[in-house]
């Protein structure tokens, strides 16, 4: 492990539990926003309902061309 990673982990370990949860929630929010932006670029004409189905298929690991209900 390089020195920068070791220092980074030490800082993370000093965070109180509430800070760890807050940071984890923020990272999740950012990841979901990035996913939504990607899907909007890939499917610019999709409705919100269609985007929900696309997200569901991705979450379930289904092919992108799996039929919609």
Count of helices and strands (H, E) across the chain: 3, 0
pLDDT tens digits for range 10-31: 999 999 999 999 999 999 999 9
What span, in angstroms and rounded, lies between the C-alpha atoms of 38 and 14? 34
pLDDT tens digits for range 27-42: 999 999 999 999 999 9
Query: What is the domain extent for residue 14?
Result: 3-60
Q: What is the pTM of this model?
A: 0.74
Question: Does residue 10 form part of some domain?
Answer: yes
Question: Does residue 16 form part of some domain?
Answer: yes
Q: How confident is the model at residue 68 (pLDDT cuts 50, 70, 90)?
A: low
**Looking at the 3D structure of the chain, how many domains does it have?**
1
Question: Does residue 67 form part of some domain?
Answer: no
Question: Does residue 66 form part of some domain?
Answer: no
Question: Does residue 65 form part of some domain?
Answer: no
Q: Is 59 helix (H, G, I), strand (E, B) or coil?
A: helix
Question: Does residue 43 form part of some domain?
Answer: yes
């Amino acid at each position: 492990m390089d020195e920068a990673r070791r220092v980074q982990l030490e800082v993370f370990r000093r965070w109180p539990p509430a800070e760890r949860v807050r940071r984890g929630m923020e990272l999740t929010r950012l990841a979901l926003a990035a996913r939504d932006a990607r899907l909007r670029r890939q499917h610019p004409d999709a409705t919100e309902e269609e985007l929900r189905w696309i997200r569901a298929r991705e979450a379930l690991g289904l092919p992108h061309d799996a039929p919609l209900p």
